[in-house]
Amino acid sequence: MVLFDNPTFEKLLTDFPHYSVITPSEWSKRLMIRASLDRQALEELRRQGSITMVCHQKSQQIYTRTTKVE
C-alpha cells in the first residue's frame, strides 16, 4: 500500500527528526496531508527511534526528536 509520494516521504524522513516539538496537527499543515496519515507516519518514526513521544492527551500527541546520550 502506497501512502506517500516520494518527495513527501523524503521530506518526512529528513525534516521530522530535526524539530524539537512535533505535533500531528502541525505536520499535517506542513506536509499538506490528512491528520490520520500524519499520525501513522509519526508512529512509524517513533517505532524506528527517530522521535520520542512526550505527551499523549486524548487525541493530541506531542513528540520530540531523539537525542543521543553520551
Domain of 39 in residue numbering reads as: 9-65
Using the Cα atoms of residue 56, residue 57, residue 58 and residue 61 in order, give the sign of their dihedral: negative
> Residue 1 falls within a domain, yes or no?
no
Q: Give the domain CATH number at 41.
A: 1.10.10.10
Using the Cα atoms of residue 52, residue 44, residue 40 and residue 29 in order, give the sign of their dihedral: positive
> Residue 34 falls within a domain, yes or no?
yes
pLDDT in tens, the chain (70 residues): 457 888 888 888 887 778 888 888 888 888 888 888 888 888 888 898 888 899 988 878 889 888 776 5
> Residue 3 falls within a domain, yes or no?
no
Q: What total number of domains does the chain contain?
A: 1
Q: What is the pLDDT of residue 1?
A: 44
